[in-house]
Structure 1
Amino acid sequence: MGTVATWRASSAVVRLLMVNQFGVMLGFYMILPNLSAYLSGDLGLTAAMVGLVLGVRTLSQQGMTLFGGTAADRLGCRWLILTGCALRSVAFVMFAVFDSLLGIMTAAVVTGISGAVFTPATRTYLTRAAGENKLAAYALFNMAGNTGALFGPLLGSVLLLWDFQVVAAVSAAVFAVLTFAQAFMLPAQPREKSGQSVFGDWRYLLTDRPFLVFVVAVSVLFVAYNQLYLLLPMEITRVTGSAGSVGLVFAVMAVIGMVGSVPLATRVPRRLGRGRSIALGVALCGLAFLPTAFSGVLQGGRALAGGFSLDSVPGMLLAALPVLSATAILAFGHTIAISLSQEVAVSYAPPGMTGTYIGMFSMAAGLSAAGGNFFIGYLADLGKQHHMAWLPWSFLTLLGLSAAWAVSRMRHLPQQPEDVPTTVAANRPPRVEGSMPRNG
């Protein structure tokens, strides 16, 4: 089923959540790419302070998603979605109004907390609303997010012609519109009960070894994906000599994610099965960095320009070819595996704990990406000092292939949500013994 047919087959509520995800990513990516330049330029913050602000925002969101997911299970998804979007609107108004370090730091914290509130709640609501069509719904959801991430920076760049305050104000307005629209259009959803306390839910989650192993293995997807913000921009700037070429990386990633989310996420599992499809996607995310590992040993972009001037479009594109190839392969691998990984992660959750499992999945993804970026940045510095520019790229390739092997060897994968017991207090969810099933 193609993207248009999948959209038409979706319920009105699922479509509304697609629009919500588009708006969330549009508003977020209007402001995020411009935030660092604003903090360091207009406000004069040091690089260390800029890094601290961005780090606080990430930690506030990723470190709190487990709590947001559990709150979605206990309090209901609708109110958390509305609250999170409203908080994000307030946070972006704060970015527009405050110019002190304390005010900016507070805005960063509120921005992160708002994401921790509405992200797991939205995914939990989507999971329950989609029923048996979760994979297709996740694929549409990710496509909507990629589309918003593609157009957000473009709109933000136009608004920046006035000033950053206009960007922040329009971003805040987007989230305000989402809040009011969903207040009137998003119906309440019945809550499921796990049959035990919050701490009982967390204890059960933390002893669900098959789920935790799966989450650790697929977290490599997020480590690889976050090179869009670390190594890939640095490398394309190095080989082309132009910081403006960074936009090519995001354009390639967003277009493939936007066009390929539904076809790749739904058709590949039908041919290979869920386990093999996830392993293939993770492996591609690792192999993506081979072109840049080879180009990294060449010093200077002119060695890659093939005789063309880097001031010309052909010269710049030829110099950027290894990076853009890496980005394209990464995009295909991530698109194949991400929706399927989310669907499998939810399949582990017993009734009443969907949000909790989604929250843990999101928290593990965010923390692994943050920790991975720190270590990979260290390897990049080490490689630069010792003339081993291939070092971080080779590590990412090895990491991806190792994770793909681990996923392919997993012997515990719940096939369908009905495999889990009616309450958490019952026995542990039955697992499928033997190799991972070949049917999606």
Structure 2
Amino acid sequence: MAQSSGANHRGLMILLFFTFFMVMGFEMIMPLIIGYYVNTMGFSATAVAFALATRQFSQQGLAMVGGTLADRVDVRTLISIGVLLRSIGFVTLAFAKDFPLLLVSMILTGLGGVLFETPYQTAIATLTTERNRSRYYSLNNTITGIASTVGPLLGTLFLYLDFRAVCFGAAFCFMITFIISRFAMPPVVRVAPSYSVRSSLRAIGKDRPFLMLTLLMIIFWLAASQINLSFPLRIQELSGSADSVGMMFAVYAAVTTVLQYPLVSFMLRKYSPRQIVVIGIFIIAVALLLLSFINTTHMFLAVVVLFTLGFLLARPNQQTMAVAMANPQAMGMYLGVNSLGFALGSGFGAIIGGVFFDLATKTGLSMIPWFLFCAIAMVSMFGFILCKKLGQSPQLPEISTT
């Protein structure tokens, strides 16, 4: 990738604006969909959940396609097409009064994500260096935290007007990202020959350290994804009010916004990314264990703060490790494969979380899910401890271009 340092800096700053509007637009609409279609439109929860799952599969299940394209096509072009497609998906959602059109809108938003998500990550990987990558990811996650706080508030305000207003607002945010990516972001173009997809998949299949990282990411997300499933269920159970869920995510977003960048920057002066991941997962495991003994809302929120601190340490440094271990010839493909860790871990984590939460409710043994999730997190932590080569730049063979 040929870029001047000045263009790199400009591109990274532009990507922060891109992140803000992209996340704000997504968070403005997505949390409201199931409530609107179930409570207002009279759809079954199963039908809406299926549509949402289709969006997730369309995006995460095809991540390698986006990665392959990112290694062959101008990343700026892919990102701009992807965000435009997602904007069209949200406009379609504004007119979706039946299930088929709802499904079409979710597929459009998912396919848009295929075109911009991995190319967007590839752009960050290309424009950063090993020295500034972890700090940039932490800064990027801070912007994500701010946008995740603002988005739902705007969505709620627009909902007082009409659900269509929410859809158009979200679509407008992605149109802003289209303008940013099309006219402000510098091009990120490959100067090396395109690789053979079959050859790159064969190389990834033989890259045991990278596959181990992806496996450990799957295990990590089985536990970490509970912040979006078991945590909301438990705090609502403790408080007896759905408002407590919003309070929990407000605490999560506030801690992320304030501490993400300074915390990671401080830790990087003392430890390697792999060591910070181990510390972060250990904190997460402790938080999950403590939830076995929590019986008040305030104590629960205190543990959410602890969990968030662990997540702030683990997540950006996992991203840094994945980039460092990827073959530069096929960066997009490698990141696409690594994203499967999130897709599989979060997907199965939701299933496991739901099953064990129902089991705890039926048996009265509320500690069962938290013991399980703590154990899963510890397995991931010991994996990162034992695999000392994780995060190191390997001497990788050339990937065939034919």
Tell me whether the two structures share a fold, i.e. TM-score over 0.5.
yes
2:43 corresponding residue in structure 1: 45
Cα pair 1:351 1:424 within 8 Å, conserved? no
Equivalent residue number for residue 264 of structure 1: 263
User: How do 1:18-417 residues align onto structure 2 when only pairs under 5 Å count?
Assistant: 18-132=16-130, 133-193=132-192, 196-295=195-294, 304=295, 319-416=296-393
Q: CA RMSD in A?
A: 2.0
Task: Give the letter for the 2:354 counterpart.
Answer: G
| Matched-pair contact (CA < 8 Å) for 1:194–1:351 | no
Partner Cα distance (1:41, 1:162) in 2? 17
Contact 1:64 1:363 in 2 (8 A): no
Aligned letter for 1:216?
Answer: L
TM-superposed CA distance for 1:246, in Å, is 0.7
Counterpart residue number, 1:423:
398
1:184 is matched by which residue type in structure 2?
F
Aligned partner letter, 2:381? A
SS in structure 1 at match of 2:270: helix
**CA deviation digits over 1:239-268, x for unaligned, max 9?**
111111111111111111112221222321
Partner Cα distance (2:364, 2:325) in 1: 45
Give, in whole Å, the separation in 1 of the partners of 2:173 and 2:11: 19
Q: Which has the higher mean CA deviation after the structures are superposed, 266-275 or 327-336? A: 266-275
Amino acid at match of 1:411: K
Give 2:9's match in structure 1, choosing from 11, 14, 39: 11
In structure 2, distance between residues paired with 1:222 and 1:80: 28
> Using a 3 Å threshold, how does the CA distance of structure 1 residues 192 and 334 change in structure 2: closer, same or farther?
farther
Q: Distance in 1 between matches of 2:220 and 2:307?
A: 9
**Which AA in structure 2 matches 1:351?**
P
SS at match of 1:131: coil
- Consecutive unaligned residues of structure 2, counting only runs of 5 or more, are 1-5
Q: Distance in 1 between matches of 2:345 and 2:220?
A: 10
Gaps of 5+ in 1: 1-7, 296-303, 305-318, 427-440
- Conserved 8 A contact 1:29-1:152: yes
Contact 2:21–2:176 (CA under 8 A) maintained in structure 1: no
CA distance in 2, matches of 1:253, 1:374: 23
CA–CA distance in structure 1, aligned partners of residues 190 and 62 of structure 2 = 21
CA distance in 2, matches of 1:38, 1:48: 14
Q: State how far apart, in whole Å, the 1-side matches of 2:258 and 2:236 are.
A: 26
For residues 380-433 of structure 1, the C-alpha deviation after alignment (integer angstroms, 9 at most, x for no partner) is 1112212211111111111111211111110323534xx54473359xxxxxxx
Superposition TM-score, scaled by structure 1 size? 0.86
1:4: which partner in 2? none
**Alignment CA distance shift 1:196-1:183 (3 Å):** closer
- Are 1:136 and 1:266, in contact at CA under 8 Å, matched by a contact in 2? yes
CA distance in 1, matches of 2:207, 2:105: 36
Change (3 A) 1:425 1:197: closer
Whether the aligned pair in 1 keeps the contact of 2:59 and 2:114 (CA below 8 Å) is yes
Query: Matched residues in 2 for 1:343 and 1:123: separation?
Result: 11
Q: TM-score of the superposition, structure 2-length normalised?
A: 0.93
